[in-house]
Structure 1
Amino acid sequence: MPHHWIPNSSYDIRKKMLEYVGVKDVLDFFNDVPEKLILKEPLKVGYGRPLTEYEVKRVFNNVISKNKLPPIPSFIGGGVCHHYVPSVVKAILSRSEFYTAYTPYQPEIAQGLLQAFFEYQSVMAELYGVDIVNASMYNGSTAAAEAVLMSSRVTKRKKVLISKAVHPEVRDVIKTWCFGAGLEVIEVNYDVSTGETDLKDFESKLSNDVAASLIQSPNFFGVIETKMRRFIDVTHNAGALAIVYSNPIALGVFEAPGALGADIVVGDTQALGNGLNYGGPSAGVLGIKEDKELLRQLPGRLIGMTKTVDGVEKGYMMILQTREQHIRRERATSNITTNSALEAVASVVYIALLGAEGLRRLGEAILGRTEYLIRRLRSVKDIVAPLFANGLYFREVSFKVVGKDLSEVLKKLASEGIYVGPQLSRFYEELPNCSLACVTEVHTLEDIDTLVSKLSEVLGGG
């Protein structure tokens, strides 16, 4: 159907184009597609005609009106949590020089964007305690997968140890990437009393053919890995590289993994000025200590700072780009391209707004709310909280419901506009009737009290 917004949709124009190339029908270009898969008539979708702008607004407003905003912020965790996004972040991102954060191939016309990336690299390197951070990846899971592949290329080894306390979906992405690269993934159990990675199981599975180990802190259960330095030292003793996946918000109150000896650090910027976005997009953090071999294998892009010819002004440009279209395909270290650079800009704006003191205070606020949630959950008769009694928690808390089906409990809470999850049995068969609950700076103590009160009602049969 012709439409004035769709080029060459006019029947007459298409007819002339087909005549010019010597084809009678558009479908002749698709003669390799089985005939049974080709539609014989237009799809019966839409309204049968182009809508006016006003009509489109009416349609969208009707759809949007079905959304129901909960009375209090969501308590759903599992890696993507509800954090406040300051208005200044959105305002800066909406500027045209940032809004399309495409790869800045022409530095002479992209100095503002290049400087933003450079500042992102600098801030993240300081936050994670490493020397070099690239100009962001797609998200935390792909950053972790890239870190694992990089470790294999550097060490020339084909095995990797990954804690089962690492986010299950991050582990799935890593396994997918390792399958194609011919790497063996060996999972390490978690300690059932602390929720941390089991050090004894880790040491028993570590050998001199392991390329790297990967732990996460806070891990998927919300537990801090208090023995991180020990894990890193043991990994190094076997000649392997230590990878640590960290939540950047937690680094306002906990020691940076790079300062504890991690060779490679990864993370996700969702908590730093990026909204929930239905689970994405966000940007991935990937950083390394200053090491020639690691730098040679670092995927993605690096932005560097230099001076103009007259030495008066600073200038920025890409000093490393490793994608396969620039290097022979078999020698490229990554196919990461434009990635999620806009979200990376959001994170550096957010950090610049808060500063070091603001990040510390934010981390303390979340830590305090986490402890308050644990104490309030403990007051509910049929709740075991926290699930791992000897663990130290940050932002997310794992707990267990006793005597009632957790699915039904969560459904009843949802009917009251209170959302909690995800259920741990979705990822861990050995943890039935267990769930995560997440608290951040957006939750007040009254919000937590409301959650616990409604949970008590539901478990009491109310």
Structure 2
Amino acid sequence: METRRKASVHPYIPNMIPEVQRQMLDEIGVERIEDLYDIIPDAIKMDRLMDMPPALSEFELKREIDKLLQKNKSANETINFLGAGCWQHFIPAVCDEINQRSEFVTAYAGEPYEDKGRFQSLFEYQSLVAELVDMDVVNVPTFDWAQAASTSLRMASRITGRTEVLLPATIDRDKLMIIANYITPQLSYQLVDFNDPSGELDLEDLKSKVNANTAAVYFENPTFLGTIESQGQQIADIAHAAGALCVVGVDPSSLGVLKPPSQYGADIICGDLQPLGMHMNYGGGQAGFIATRDEEKFVMEYPSRLFGIAPTIVEGEYGFGDVAYDRTSFAHRETGKESVGTQTALWGITAGVYLALLGPYGMQELGQTIMQKSQYAAELLAAIDGVEIRLQSTFFKEFVVDFNGTGKTVREIHRQLLADGIQGGKDLSEDFPELGQCALYCVTEVHAKEELETLAAAIQRACVVKEEVESV
């Protein structure tokens, strides 16, 4: 027997009045609302009412949510060493001051009738990121790095007419899941092995997998595991020799001390803007960028908006607006190469403010500070009995800590760290089982020397506790 819900009129849901519903159903020619879902197989329909608690008033709901939120601990309440795609950096106050102005505070890139300087701000952001990565063209941001990488790979496929891509085995498994979802079934992918203990791409494995249908070879520098890929030019040469494009993902905060990928063969560069003035947020604060040379074959394959500068009819006056708008899905709708809707334009403006504030010397100082502090932290941890730094290549900001020699799991050690007010790194034991009990630790400019020493002491205590228990 069909379970029916008692008819009710909800104040926050439109068209709940029975007479209005009846009029709408008659207009589209169906008897019941349920008839609209006939195409859904009965086997996957719920045939009962949901087991939901009683409805709450607005005050009761707020109180319940506040209780849940109080269980959370922010990075301000712990010493945080968790990175893995969302990193704790210092956010200058001016970033929030500018991005909360009424003329900017929306994710949309905007339209000419509502432009109050947003177009120019996005043009300036694009120019600053282009200078940072040493490319000519930068897009209005995508949602995050994973989407930027996915779109870059689809661009490469359209440019080359090929349907396979090669990805590094060191890639973040969450990012890989998004890329796979975004590019399949039209494109397929293979993972290229990495060398252990260096952490760099296995060039022989790359050569064995690249072929005449390879659209792009994608790698990251620094890698997800923090190591710096010194073979960038060799990887690009292998890709180009096979007629493929070289796509490189990069952490922009590293480019004050590392060469931009354009200088070792990258055709398309992508990455995440989050290190450039964005707070860490649960479910937000991410923004991906894509950069290429100013060549028509690249520009016309961007699905996202691009802003340019042009002279007006008034001599000496310039305006800002869309470049090749007719290539986007805004113009083509369902026949567009890729659909693009709400982007993260506000974070682009924020990144522009951050880069303008720091300038070239500030970015260099940022990179040097991160390098020095992360290297110091690694030295402290490597001095603990049973603890090693797993991958031996030079690293930036993040590094793999090997706990296999301690006889404890990462989960056990991190549980002890939390008790000491420390958020440990990302547990890699599930995503990279070949590494055993390892974790990815992140150190940035926000970490004080004393905090790094506190971390080392806490890990030392966690290991000693294990030894004492065994001796008893």
Give TM-score, length-normalised by structure 2: 0.88
**Distance in 1 separating the partners of 2:374 and 2:139:** 32
Classify the secondary structure of the residue corresponding to 2:255. helix
8 A Cα contact 1:160 1:184, kept in partner: yes
**Distance in 2 separating the partners of 1:303 and 1:206:** 35
8 A Cα contact 2:140 2:343, kept in partner: no
2:288 matched to 1:284?
yes
Aligned amino acid, residue 79 of structure 2: P
Alignment partner, residue 273 of structure 1: 277
Alignment partner, residue 128 of structure 2: 123
8 A Cα contact 2:168 2:219, kept in partner: yes
**Distance in 2 separating the partners of 1:37 and 1:356:** 58
- Please show how residues 227-306 of structure 1 align to structure 2 within 5 Å: 227-278=231-282, 280-306=284-310
Aligned amino acid, residue 452 of structure 2: I
8 A Cα contact 2:137 2:291, kept in partner: yes
The farther-off stretch of 33-42 and 136-145 is: 33-42
8 A Cα contact 2:135 2:262, kept in partner: yes
**Distance in 2 separating the partners of 1:163 and 1:213:** 9
Aligned amino acid, residue 141 of structure 1: A
Classify the secondary structure of the residue corresponding to 2:306. strand
Alignment partner, residue 66 of structure 1: 71
Alignment partner, residue 164 of structure 1: 169
1:328-386 alpha-carbon deviations (Å, 9 max, x no partner): 634x222122211122221111111211111111111100011101110111001011x
1:381-438 alpha-carbon deviations (Å, 9 max, x no partner): 01011x012x001100101111222221111112222111212122112111011110
Q: CA deviation at 1:280?
A: 3.1
Alignment partner, residue 355 of structure 2: 351
Alignment partner, residue 77 of structure 1: 83
Q: CA deviation at 1:201?
A: 1.7
1:47-67 alpha-carbon deviations (Å, 9 max, x no partner): 2xx435xx6665554444333
Aligned amino acid, residue 423 of structure 1: D
**Distance in 2 separating the partners of 1:184 and 1:433:** 31
Distance change (3 Å), C-alpha of 1:21 and 1:279: closer
2:418 matched to 1:384?
no
**Distance in 2 separating the partners of 1:242 and 1:85:** 32
**Distance in 1 separating the partners of 2:282 and 2:14:** 35
**Distance in 1 separating the partners of 2:168 and 2:267:** 17
2:49 matched to 1:46?
no
- Please show how residues 66-215 of structure 1 align to structure 2 within 5 Å: 66-69=71-74, 71-105=77-111, 107-181=112-186, 183-215=187-219
8 A Cα contact 2:370 2:396, kept in partner: yes
8 A Cα contact 1:75 1:437, kept in partner: yes
Aligned amino acid, residue 138 of structure 2: V
**Distance in 1 separating the partners of 2:136 and 2:173:** 29
Distance change (3 Å), C-alpha of 1:27 and 1:379: farther
Alignment partner, residue 417 of structure 2: 413
Aligned amino acid, residue 110 of structure 1: D
8 A Cα contact 2:215 2:244, kept in partner: yes
Give TM-score, length-normalised by structure 1: 0.89
Classify the secondary structure of the residue corresponding to 2:220. strand
Cα RMSD after superposing both structures: 2.6
Q: CA deviation at 1:209?
A: 2.7
Q: CA deviation at 1:215?
A: 0.8
**Distance in 2 separating the partners of 1:267 and 1:408:** 33
**Distance in 1 separating the partners of 2:459 and 2:50:** 53
Identity of aligned residues (%): 31
**Distance in 2 separating the partners of 1:362 and 1:282:** 20
Aligned amino acid, residue 232 of structure 2: M
What stretches of structure 1 of length at least 5 have no aligned partner? none
8 A Cα contact 2:103 2:116, kept in partner: no
Q: CA deviation at 1:244?
A: 0.6
Q: CA deviation at 1:122?
A: 0.8
Moved beyond 6 Å, runs of 4+: 1-4, 38-42
Match of 1:371 among 375, 384, 387: 375
2:230 matched to 1:226?
yes
Q: How many residues align?
A: 448
8 A Cα contact 2:25 2:31, kept in partner: no
**Distance in 1 separating the partners of 2:139 and 2:395:** 29
Aligned amino acid, residue 127 of structure 1: L
Classify the secondary structure of the residue corresponding to 1:249. helix
8 A Cα contact 2:109 2:140, kept in partner: no
**Distance in 2 separating the partners of 1:87 and 1:3:** 42
What stretches of structure 2 of length at least 5 have no aligned partner? 1-7, 467-472
2:318 matched to 1:314?
yes
**Distance in 2 separating the partners of 1:61 and 1:209:** 54
**Distance in 2 separating the partners of 1:225 and 1:198:** 11
8 A Cα contact 2:214 2:244, kept in partner: yes
2:23 matched to 1:17?
no
8 A Cα contact 1:77 1:420, kept in partner: no
8 A Cα contact 1:130 1:259, kept in partner: no
Classify the secondary structure of the residue corresponding to 1:76. coil
**Distance in 2 separating the partners of 1:20 and 1:240:** 57
**Distance in 2 separating the partners of 1:20 and 1:148:** 48
Classify the secondary structure of the residue corresponding to 1:252. coil
Q: CA deviation at 1:2?
A: 6.7
8 A Cα contact 1:323 1:337, kept in partner: no
Q: CA deviation at 1:197?
A: 0.8
1:131-175 alpha-carbon deviations (Å, 9 max, x no partner): 111112111111111111111111111221211123232222222
8 A Cα contact 1:93 1:345, kept in partner: yes
